[in-house]
Structure 1
Amino acid sequence: MKQKIFTFLLIAAAGLTACKKNDSNQPDLREFDEQKIQAYISANGLTGFTADTTKDGTGTTGMYYKIISQATGDTLKYSDNISLVYTLKSFDGKYVAADTISNHFYGYLGQLTAVNQLTGFRLPPGLQLAIHNLLQYKGSSMRVLIPSRLGYGVNGFGSGSISNVNTRIAGNQSLDLYVHVISDQDIYDEQVIKNYIAANNLTGYVKDPLGYYYKIVAPGTGAIDEISEFTTVTTTYTGYLLNGVGFDTGSATTATTLTPYSLITGVEDALQKHASKGTSISILIPSSLGYGAGARTSIPGNSVLKFDFQITDIKQP
Structure 2
Amino acid sequence: MKIKYLLGVLLLFSVVFTACKKEYESIESVDERIIQEYLQKNGLNATKDPSGFYYVVTKQGSGELLKNTDSVFYRGEIKSLKTGVTYYSSSALHNLGTYVGYSATFVGVQIEAIQKVMLSVNRGSEVRILLPSHMAFGKNGDTQINVPENEVIDFKLTIYPEATQAERDDNLIKKFLLDKGLTAQKDASGVYYIVKPGEAGDAAKPVLPYSVIKAKYKLRFLDGTQIQESTDPIEFEFPRNVIPGWYKTIPGKIGQGGKIRLLIPSALAYGLDPGQDLTPNAVLDFDVEVTEVNAQPAGAVSAVFK
Classify the TM-score, shorter chain.
0.7 to 0.9
- Aligned residue in 1 for 2:211: 231
Structure 2: runs of 5 or more not aligned:
297-306
| 1:131 correspondence with 2:131 | no
Does the 8 Å CA contact 2:221/2:285 hold for their aligned counterparts?
Answer: yes
- Aligned residue in 1 for 2:147: 169
Residue type at the aligned position of 2:126: M
Where 1:21 maps in the other structure, the secondary structure is helix
- Aligned residue in 1 for 2:91: 99
Where 1:252 maps in the other structure, the secondary structure is strand
Deviation, structure 1 residue 234: 0.4
Residue deviations 1:70-90, cap 9 Å, x none? 34447422x655433333323
- Aligned residue in 2 for 1:257: 235
Does the 8 Å CA contact 2:192/2:263 hold for their aligned counterparts?
Answer: yes
- Aligned residue in 2 for 1:52: 48
Residue type at the aligned position of 1:258: F
- Aligned residue in 2 for 1:6: 3
Deviation, structure 1 residue 235: 0.8
Residue deviations 1:95-127, cap 9 Å, x none? 25262224x3233444435476xxxx5463322
Where 1:168 maps in the other structure, the secondary structure is coil
Does the 8 Å CA contact 1:112/1:122 hold for their aligned counterparts?
Answer: no
Where 2:255 maps in the other structure, the secondary structure is coil
Q: Structure 2 length normalisation: TM-score?
A: 0.79
| 1:180 correspondence with 2:177 | no
Residue deviations 1:242-268, cap 9 Å, x none? 244455x1x521321112313222222
- Could you tell me which of 294, 298, 302 is aligned with 1:315? 294
Q: Are residues 30 and 277 of structure 1, via their aligned partners in 2, closer, same or farther at CA, if it must alter by over 3 Å?
A: same
Does the 8 Å CA contact 1:154/1:171 hold for their aligned counterparts?
Answer: yes
1 or 2, which has the higher strand percentage? 2
Count of residue pairs the alignment pairs up: 288
Structure 1 residues 15-24 or 258-267, which shifts more? 15-24
Structure 1: runs of 5 or more not aligned:
160-166
Residue type at the aligned position of 1:278: G
Does the 8 Å CA contact 1:215/1:281 hold for their aligned counterparts?
Answer: yes
Where 2:139 maps in the other structure, the secondary structure is coil
Where 2:194 maps in the other structure, the secondary structure is strand
| 1:191 correspondence with 2:166 | no
Identity %, equivalent residues: 18
- Aligned residue in 2 for 1:162: none
- Could you tell me which of 119, 123, 127 is aligned with 1:143? 127
Residue deviations 1:261-313, cap 9 Å, x none? 13222222221132221122221112232233445434333221111212111
Structure 2: distance between partners of 1:21 and 1:169: 32
Where 1:310 maps in the other structure, the secondary structure is strand
Structure 2: distance between partners of 1:244 and 1:12: 73
Where 1:33 maps in the other structure, the secondary structure is helix
- Aligned residue in 2 for 1:31: 29
Structure 2: distance between partners of 1:298 and 1:125: 30
Structure 1: distance between partners of 2:177 and 2:109: 31
Where 2:93 maps in the other structure, the secondary structure is coil
Deviation, structure 1 residue 168: 1.1
Deviation, structure 1 residue 183: 1.5
Where 2:250 maps in the other structure, the secondary structure is helix
Structure 2: distance between partners of 1:312 and 1:279: 7
Deviation, structure 1 residue 149: 1.9
| 1:85 correspondence with 2:75 | yes
Does the 8 Å CA contact 1:224/1:275 hold for their aligned counterparts?
Answer: no
Structure 2: distance between partners of 1:211 and 1:225: 25
Deviation, structure 1 residue 25: 4.3
Q: Structure 1 length normalisation: TM-score?
A: 0.77
